[in-house]
């Protein structure tokens, strides 16, 4: 998708893309809330969100729910048909907003919510496309049929700014996008081996390592846990009932270091005899 520059340029002078509310937040009276930890976890585990784009004629925002996954660096990715209203809107103006909500809440205002703004780009590089497609299908296997349609493409939201809220009195000020993205520097070997490592973990020779990890790190016993993706900071697990993000004890950049990190994550169970 080739997209012209929007009619209103994104600020390039360091000004925030999301302008401040104009009122000072009393963070000293707020309840404890680690916005980066909650936001990064939500970004990596939420299965769907509301994507909003701008109608080129009326200028009004148009929002619709879509399935989500993440690229290696944590950027949201999704599929879109060429006939979709979003596709038409983005062809005129690539700016978009994505809203994520903590799943399973009876009252969304009491949980973690995240709004991301940025520009949508289509993934066209063949090597990148295969990796993103694999990661997306790991989380949404039933969408494989959609991938065969001629006008379906994979898209990525290049994040420019964001806000995270955690419920009443849990505000995050103005977090930085860079703190929510995973640094991929020097991790070429790990990313190149991701498909093989995920296949190994999900196969019989993986000895149900995804399931063992999930049980140790809050995933419970329900469902069949599988590895969905690996990056320098952690591993993403998926099951029919939900998704789980587990951070490595240290940053890894190659398959051997990743295997050592996984071994360290399951070691408490081995030591405890579980």
Dump pLDDT digits (tens) for 54-80.
999 999 999 999 999 999 999 999 999
Dump pLDDT digits (tens) for 102-156.
988 888 888 889 999 999 999 999 999 999 999 999 999 999 999 989 999 999 9
Q: What letter would DSSP give residue 73?
A: T
Mean pLDDT of the chain: 88
Query: For residues 178 and 36, what is the distance between their CA atoms, to the nearest angstrom?
Result: 10
Q: Is 101 helix (H, G, I), strand (E, B) or coil?
A: strand
Q: Is 188-269 a domain of CATH 3.40.50.1110?
A: no
Query: For residues 177 and 250, what is the distance between their CA atoms, to the nearest angstrom?
Result: 21
The CATH superfamily assigned to 28-180 is Electron Transport, Fmn-binding Protein; Chain A (2.30.110.10)
In the chain, % of residues over pLDDT 90? 68
Instruction: Grade residue 29 by pLDDT with cuts at 50, 70 and 90.
Output: low
Among 226, 207, 210, CA closest to 265: 210
> Higher model confidence: residue 6 or residue 208?
208
Residue 194, pLDDT score = 98
Burial of residue 67 (CB within 10 Å: 0-12, 13-18, 19+) is middle
Residue extent(s) of CATH 2.30.110.10 domains in the chain: 28-180
Query: For residues 65 and 86, what is the distance between their CA atoms, to the nearest angstrom?
Result: 11
Query: For residues 18 and 197, what is the distance between their CA atoms, to the nearest angstrom?
Result: 39
Residue extent(s) of CATH 3.20.180.10 domains in the chain: 188-269
Among 96, 116, 82, 118, CA closest to 2: 82
């Amino acid at each position: 998708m080739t997209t012209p520059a929007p009619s209103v340029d994104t600020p390039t002078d360091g000004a925030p893309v999301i302008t401040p509310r104009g009122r000072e937040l009393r963070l000293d009276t707020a309840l404890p809330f680690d916005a980066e930890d909650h936001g990064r976890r939500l970004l990596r585990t939420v299965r769907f969100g509301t994507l909003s784009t701008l109608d080129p004629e009326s200028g009004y925002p148009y929002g619709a729910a879509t399935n989500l996954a993440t690229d290696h660096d944590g950027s949201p990715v999704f599929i879109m048909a060429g006939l979709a209203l979003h596709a038409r809107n983005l062809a005129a103006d690539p700016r978009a907003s994505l809203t994520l909500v903590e799943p399973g809440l009876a009252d969304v205002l009491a949980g973690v919510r995240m709004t991301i703004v940025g520009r949508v780009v289509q993934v066209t590089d063949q090597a990148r496309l295969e990796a993103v497609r694999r990661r997306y299908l790991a989380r949404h296997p039933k969408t494989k049929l959609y991938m065969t349609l001629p006008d379906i493409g994979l898209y990525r939201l290049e994040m420019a700014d964001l806000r995270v809220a955690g419920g009443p009195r849990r505000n995050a000020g103005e977090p930085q996008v860079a703190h929510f993205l995973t640094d991929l520097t020097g991790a070429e070997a790990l990313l190149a081996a991701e498909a093989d490592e995920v296949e190994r973990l999900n196969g019989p020779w993986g000895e149900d390592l995804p399931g063992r990890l999930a049980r140790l790190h809050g995933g419970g016993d329900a469902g069949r846990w599988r590895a969905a993706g690996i990056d320098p900071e952690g591993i993403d697990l998926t099951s029919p009932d939900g998704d789980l993000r587990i951070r490595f004890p240290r940053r890894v950049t190659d398959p051997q270091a990743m295997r050592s990190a996984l071994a360290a994550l399951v070691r408490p169970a081995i030591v405890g005899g579980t």
